[in-house]
Chain A
């Protein structure tokens, strides 16, 4: 299973763009990159998923370079409600493998 490394914590201010980078040097050919968001007392929630290049949805953008050894989650104009833990996962959903959740990145958005 591809191991991921991401910063333990980040601080930002309301209205700023936040970029969280995840390293996954041993990503496999069939692996997708998925990001989840978790608020206190809730289960993680899917944010965005990609395989290569750039993916954008109504919540975030995901940038994946050609070598796919890293990915960057971009949150535009964060608000206080974006304070949460963000997890980067790498794996192949075709086989329902056990996805290992690392400690994630604890984002604190300040007023």
Chain B
């Protein structure tokens, strides 16, 4: 597609439920990233994919968080047993892996609210 697409745009869930967030990157972008942003805060790195593998999972806050990417394209971020502190905007970005490109292209994010 023309841009990075994320769904759903908004998600309200009850504490303890599992949620899945989806990211559809720009076609041909090898690298895919997940960040989260709490209200009024900066971006917190979660995980990075190169193709279908995740060389860097260092940012996942706990074992309740997991992510996968299939076919070098769509990625799903899963949060199990959600907690109120998981409430944030989850941003996905993709990029080409070459010099002098146009950096990351971000999606509009999924606003997750855990009640």
- The interface of chain A, by Cβ under 8 A from chain B, is 30, 32, 34, 36, 41-46, 49, 51, 87, 89, 92-104
Contacts and interface: CB of A to CB of B under 8 A. Distances in A.
A95 B56 contact: no
Nearest to B51: A96
Interface in B61-115: 89, 91, 93, 95-109
Question: Which of A41, A87, A96, A104 neighbours the largest number of chain B CB atoms within 10 Å of its CB?
Answer: A96
A99 B43 CA distance: 10
B34 to A, nearest CB: 11
Interface residues of B, number: 32
Interface of A is mostly: loop
B16 interface: no
Nearest to B31: A96
Nearest to B6: A43
A98 B108 contact: no
A101 B98 contact: no
A51 B42 CA distance: 25
